Amino acid sequence: MTCFECGQGSLVSGVTDLVGERNGESFVVRMEGLKCDRCGFQTIDSGQSSEFTRLVSDGYREKHGLLKGSEIRARRSRLGMTQQRFSEYLGAGVASVKRWESGQIQDKAMDELIRLKTDPLAARENLRALEGQVPQKYVLSALVVEGKDIELTLNIGPYFESHPVMRMDSVFLAGDLIDNACGMAA
């Protein structure tokens, strides 16, 4: 095949370094392609375009910390799910799962959801982070006095994890309301 660039050399099969673009960023990928034996021009044929797309997308994903298509496929397979079942599990369309596995890039939010729903360690780390941000309320005692519910609770929040603080907001004692457990009648 004659070179498209110089018109004099021949395009021969070999390893090529080609530049592709994703979301305004350029990525160099190494793959089998065609190279001019005279001017060095490099290209691929139409049968190699899907592989080129996948490699460029994986370059983007790697740079931005996203799961590659093969990693998404491996996680789905580890769960023993079809693409259809996996899409239902994620709450996404089956066409999206197919696209992600074949080279289209998932957004950051979907990437995080995939990680949380396919990796127990990521899910546990997320739970720990969430528990550190949201105070936990523990009911230590509950009773009803004169038709009113009374709870003794312990709130553990992000600032009190090592030294929990116990606070009684209001207590009914013998019909008198005592605020803030400091013994002052209301």
The pLDDT-based confidence of 142 (bands split at 50, 70, 90) is confident
Q: Is the pLDDT of residue 28 over 80?
A: yes
Q: Where in the chain is the domain with CATH 1.10.260?
A: 69-132
As a whole number of angstroms, the distance between CA 19 and CA 28 comes to 4
d(CA 111, CA 120): 15
Task: Report residue 33 as tokens.
Answer: 């392609």
Kindly report the CA angle at 107 between 102 and 113, in degrees rounded to 5? 95
Q: Are 93 and 104 in contact (CB under 8 A)?
A: no
* Statement: residue 8 has pLDDT above 80: yes
Average pLDDT of span 7-26: 96
Q: Which tokens hold the place of 74?
A: 């491996």
Q: 70-85: per-residue pLDDT in tens?
A: 999 999 999 999 999 9
Q: Does pTM surpass 0.75? A: no
The strands making up 148-156's β-sheet, listed across from edge to edge, are: 136-145, 148-156, 165-166
CATH number given to 69-132: 1.10.260
pLDDT at 93: 97
CATH 3.10.20.860 domain extents, the chain: 11-63
28 and 19 in contact (C-beta within 8 Å)? yes
pLDDT one-digit tens code per residue, 148-170: 888 777 766 655 445 555 555 55
- Percent of the chain topping pLDDT 70: 82
Phi first, then psi, for residue 105 (nearest 5°) are: -95, 125
179: confidence class by pLDDT, cuts 50, 70, 90: very low
Check residue 128 and give its pLDDT. Answer: 87
Mean pLDDT over each residue of the chain, to the nearest integer: 86
Report whether CATH 3.10.20.860 matches the domain 11-63. yes
Backbone angles phi, psi at 40, to 5 degrees: 85, 0
pLDDT of 178 > 50? The answer is no
Neighbours of 150 (CB within 10 A): 14
pLDDT tens column, 94-131: 999 999 999 899 999 999 999 999 999 999 999 988 87
Output the pLDDT for position 182. 43
Instruction: Mean pLDDT check: name the lowest of 27-36, 59-68, 110-119, 174-183.
Output: 174-183
